[in-house]
Structure 1
């Protein structure tokens, strides 16, 4: 074997996967077909659950220290959610994808891990022992496992001939990172009478302290083939149509056309190959949920691959990656499709759609609805199906849990100091602390046992394998 795990794709999902495998103590090779890191910010926000996952690895504070990344509660269908009704200690941060990738590259490089660029995948074959991959530059890599983090047009997924059901993109809009005059610095979603719409999302400031904005323009007659070049005049025309002369384009940093495609891989695991991030699920980029879901795919899968490489993974541990993450991806697709309808993404100005949006705006003023939407969008509503009572949810950060998880091991909270003899059998994989509330927390921060003494040993075996 050249490496334990080959990661194809050096975007946020692939970079997080490389970090998780580093923490798990297994070797990984990270490849990407691009000659250098992209300067395109396809996403612009980090959810609460993703921030918590970064904090578990000691990465949140160093990331946020690198720039002005304002707090945000996010939005649902362009309707702003109040910051004080997000039920989590870590509210969203507006962090452009380029900053996230640059941070991860620097962090991994400090640990001797660098993406091998100009590696375009051309072939893949797996057997009972591993996977052989071939690249256009003549390189061949042999690995125990492969993680496909190579985006919506995944070459790995194509070579696997993996089912990718769903809806193709039928309409396009423009998403651009810009500097504007007269925008006001607030999130907004505004239509003109003809159905043209403009959405504005603050992105913090550039190194010179000037405000940056994610600008999205769509509506009737504005959907053109995805590869059509984007001009500044096209953006200015959209701004004039909606705002007259009140908002002006000062600088265009980056732009692309996005579609309303909505697809999800039928299976996330294909033998020794795993699909993650946009290779597993694609949808409209509303609320940066694609990037965040991909990062959390990596957090879920990384420790499980580490367990498999180290030889202590229970028989079905790798299968739980699909079992747990496929429903999460499906839920994201559903909420994004609902948002696209409520925000009239097609610009129809259909009276039924407008009536639905008006009613939803009224409902969204209720604190209980705001909290539910905040949990949904921030990733804090995720619940994995697990045996036991009060399991499957992310553990709250009590008694320094985020620091305890930095080792990449499980954590058993044993405040009555009654499980030492049992815990000792798994002490090479699980740390025990005599504080807090009785619970067993996986390396990804999710509770997999709580309270019932008779269920602790089965839970340890289910998630951490045979005792040593």
Structure 2
């Protein structure tokens, strides 16, 4: 066997794994990503991208490409429930559809207040190639058709045996860290023996049928994203893939009655689709058939020494709300800058413990919301939807860890409404600025290094950041915000939005979360900033 060393070995080439690769490369960390399948996803899963995840992709310069890929589904909206597709009342459909734009507009306006990005509809089959192409242009190595055979870790690293599935050739990889992005049936999580909590299957079992069929005759241009079929023989839902002729149909099945995924042949799936549509003479082409279940499951710990669980390997949640893949992508975002800081010897390895501390809480909040949405939809159990705001779940959770310098405050962070006001542990507020003759968001200044926002003419903070950066070997970018600073306010007041005075300052981490804030300013900026950075990193 050949031997190779790489700082990070990523196992799994799905959305979480590819995002890990992209952010590690951005932080100048070499990696090897292996994926057991021969290429990117061949089935259109995980179609909804939240505006927070689009902010993450914006940092990578991929927002425009993803937006273009999502254009066919830009106008897809709303849900309807019918007996069959054929039974749709087009006049009634038009009435229902006409009420949707007002609802959409209100959501868009709420998002526009807090983010430079908008949600997108781009399924995994379309998104993975975009991420892969970007990854192939940067640092690191990606091997498909390659699987992890075994691994062992010690005090100084991880030794893994990987195998090319086509040739059978094995290779020994020595890495400093291993990122487990190997999905819901993660063999790495099983190897760590980390237990999971959660109620398991809570929303039933389904067969996901990806197929081609022309349904335009029945829909007459209607663009509903979800068409519930109430026919008890084939109870399920149609979801469009390309807004033309490609669809997935989710049909329920019951294992307790002896039904198995293997029972759903292409022939049977064609008959199911025909019954759901309400016709018997339609041309249907089946592309793929996958079983799935609405599951609630979370690993009790996302770290096992030098091994980190991300995405579905760490947590599973019902698809209601569309949080699943978005949560995994944000896991990768949170972990990457911390791995980079430790690998570049800019931080103590204990910084890596904050990955679990921060993301496990965010996952708990998100899973609860997804489950509540599911229970509300199927009228099962007790739903507490009124206690949790959807926007707050998307971007408004608050991290608590040693990588956050908490403020002495008697107020509890709320999740029943979105609060982004510069409080440490929350995502830095978005506002529009004029910077170098361009209109940008505050979030566009964040992503690679630590960032210090302050008011114009606060030169002491520039000096402090320069000295601390030199002392710790950690870059800190400083931006003055005001009517005449580096960054000129376009509309909002920076002081009001970030809840600081003209002498205040806000330190933001590479992942866009506020690490520390001083509202009134400090008598010795150099000393306090040195203490803050040292506390976070060391």
**TM-score bracket for this pair, using the shorter chain length:** 0.7 to 0.9
Deviation at 1:371, TM superposition (A): 9.7
Aligned to 2:132: 105
Aligned to 1:349: none
Q: Distance in 2 between matches of 1:247 and 1:162?
A: 51
Q: Distance in 2 between matches of 1:121 and 1:315?
A: 25
Aligned to 2:510: 443
Q: Distance in 1 between matches of 2:200 and 2:212?
A: 32
Q: 2:427 aligns with which of 375, 388, 394?
A: 394
Secondary structure of residue in 1 paired with 2:42: coil
Taking structure 2 as the reference length, the TM-score comes to 0.73
Deviation at 1:459, TM superposition (A): 3.1
Q: 2:396 aligns with which of 365, 371, 381?
A: 381
Structure 1 segments unaligned to the other structure (5+ residues): 345-351, 364-368
Aligned to 2:361: 327
CA pair 96-83 structure 1, distance change in 2 beyond 3 A? farther
Give CA deviations for 1:338-359 in whole Å, capped at 9, x if unaligned: 2332222xxxxxxx649x89xx
* Greater length-normalized contact order (CA 8 Å, ≥ 6 residues apart): 1
Q: 1:165 aligns with which of 197, 221, 237?
A: 197
CA pair 432-254 structure 1, distance change in 2 beyond 3 A? same
Q: Distance in 1 between matches of 2:173 and 2:461?
A: 44
Which sits farther off after the overlay, 128-137 or 285-294?
Answer: 285-294
- Is the CA contact (8 Å cut-off) linking 1:163 and 1:266 kept in structure 2? yes
CA pair 105-353 structure 1, distance change in 2 beyond 3 A? closer
Aligned to 1:176: 209
Q: 1:35 aligns with which of 26, 33, 38?
A: 38
Q: 2:334 aligns with which of 300, 314, 330?
A: 300
Q: 1:372 aligns with which of 379, 389, 392?
A: 389
- Is the CA contact (8 Å cut-off) linking 2:194 and 2:300 kept in structure 1? yes
Deviation at 1:464, TM superposition (A): 4.3
CA pair 74-68 structure 1, distance change in 2 beyond 3 A? closer
Q: Distance in 2 between matches of 1:458 and 1:77?
A: 56
1:19 aligns with 2:22: yes
Q: Distance in 2 between matches of 1:233 and 1:35?
A: 28
Give CA deviations for 1:223-250 in whole Å, capped at 9, x if unaligned: 8324444435436436635x64499774
Q: Distance in 1 between matches of 2:18 and 2:295?
A: 25
Q: Distance in 2 between matches of 1:247 and 1:20?
A: 49
- Is the CA contact (8 Å cut-off) linking 1:4 and 1:143 kept in structure 2? yes
RMSD across aligned positions (CA): 3.4
In the alignment of these two chains, the number of paired residues is 440
Which sits farther off after the overlay, 144-153 or 420-429?
Answer: 420-429
Q: Distance in 1 between matches of 2:211 and 2:535?
A: 50
Taking structure 1 as the reference length, the TM-score comes to 0.83
Secondary structure of residue in 1 paired with 2:48: coil
Aligned to 1:240: 275
Q: Distance in 1 between matches of 2:187 and 2:209?
A: 26
Give CA deviations for 1:208-236 in whole Å, capped at 9, x if unaligned: xx354443222669983244444354364
